[in-house]
Structure 1
Amino acid sequence: MTSERDDTTNRADLTVHRHGRVSRRSVLVGGLGAAVIGGLAACSDQEPTKVEPRKLETRAADDELPSETSPPQIAGGPPLVTGSFVSAKMGGRETRWAVARPAGVTGRLPVVVVLHALNTNEKSIFSSKLEMQNVLQRYVDAGNAPFALAAADAARNYFHPRADGTDGGAMILDEFLPMLASNSELNLSTERIGLFGWSMGGYGALRLGALLGAPRVAAIAVSSPALWADPRNFPPRAFDSYDDYQANSLFGQQAAFAKIPLLISIGSSDQFFTYTRQWAAGLHPPAAFGTSAGGHTNRYWRSVLPEQVEFLGRNLAR
């Protein structure tokens, strides 16, 4: 994973509200002066601007992280159940998955589907760098309603249809969720789910949330979502072409989140901060938007997991 920064900048502690509480670390970005980027073909009468191939080779910084192939399970944490299935939506490849249920809990549980970052995998959220399952365990041990975490490996797909024929988003919706519902040993309910993702997976969680909508989606929490507001400047790993960007960008799609509780967390020095703030400015009602000192790092992502788990759990329990 990318090297961690020493985030030492002091920021004011504020409390913000939308569908519930966000911790005192968070700073609400409300009443933003920046307008949402316009000019997308779906939202404009103007002809789309032709994109020259050479421009697609010069990119803004994105979420390209060193590969993490097989992070170890945390000793003493909630047990991790793993498996795989052959995914037609991922080109027929063996697709691994992992599920964590809080220890000491029986019965059928709701589930939060976790969408991973680029160059990570289905186990990365459970690794020693993030340990979301241990954050969940502490939340449940404090007397809160339990839920499970479930992740599947979408490789570098970016959770939307790609030119190579793969579609990580369809894999989650059409294959992984039905598998979770039908696996009696997992004992999970998928009628009403939560979505969580970071970086590439943050974009993916937002995209799938928009497709499913409320009330199927109880809540979405994302960290540092990989969003690009400029249709002339995005990495080819995220979109295959200008038309692909137009079809799958979340700019102009904010109305889909009007009835879904949404928590966005992003460090103030993250490379996606400006685009994410611009996108959030188009949400009505506004999302809970939390920011504090930090970058596109595991240190920041881990620091905000407790409030994200609480946000997801509280909305799933409603």
Structure 2
Amino acid sequence: MWFRNARIYRFTKPFDVSVEELESKLEEDAFKPCGPQESFRQGWVAPLGRHGVQKVHSANGYHLVALRKEERVLPAAVIKEAVTERVEMIESEQMRKVPRKEKEEIKEELTQEMLPRAFTKSKRTFAYLAPKDGFMIVDAGSDKQAEELATTLRKALGSLPIRPPALEQAPTFTFSGWLNETIDLPSTFSLGNECELKDTGEEGGVVRCKGLDLLGDEIRNHLNAGMQVTKLSLGWEDSLTFVLDEELALRRLKFGDTFQEKLDDIDADDAAAKFDASFTLMTLELARLIPALLEALGGEDRSAIVEEDAA
């Protein structure tokens, strides 16, 4: 159970929902397959898949959840072709021009007719809540996918006080400072070999570099020309590598050999135990990385965070 992406959300107030209540709330909004006339459905499923039934998998105070979304695949080209055929038939038989409004009605009618016969596809999005650390981490490749999970979880719970972490300075400023060496990169971090730079002018040109020395003259020339670094590959303590962007999204997370060795050392024969072990190792590793990363980026603005209940 290793995340390939990590989108970070900060709890702005203590999360005091118990595991039992969280399980109950998610069970009420459990996944059900699409009905014949539904284009999509989503709901909560067991993170362990066929190896579990609980909607929440908890270990060491970390709570893993999984949102499943099922969609009916009805390509726009197929609908368009069917609408064209229906319109041509009407115009030929009735000797009249079909107006735009009627075409839209035909499109809607045909979509409803075709939906029950359409194939379905589904995907699962994982996230874990870390109340003691004050974070929720979502394994999502896009902001839209992460926000969809957060919104669905908020709806299930009635409240979910989270937001992306606020930093004291813009990540692009820090990224650029690391590469032009005006800001020291902490020793626990190392530069990778790829980055993305953007022109701050009206044209907004983008330069993507891969396989280069990020402290070399080629990158330095772009920085001297006023470009800013918006994406950067990094390593951390020889245990993790990732690509970090200006929105603080960690992509292409890769856990190193040391991490794998720790997992191999755990005496766990069945799939559920192995899952639990890898989840525990991952959460503990990210619990160390995230504060270190936020500090390396100039520190977090915690002015809007309530550390404990007013009571």
TM range (shorter): under 0.3
- TM-score under structure 2 length normalisation: 0.27
More strand by share: 2
Which is greater in Rg?
2
- TM-score under structure 1 length normalisation: 0.27
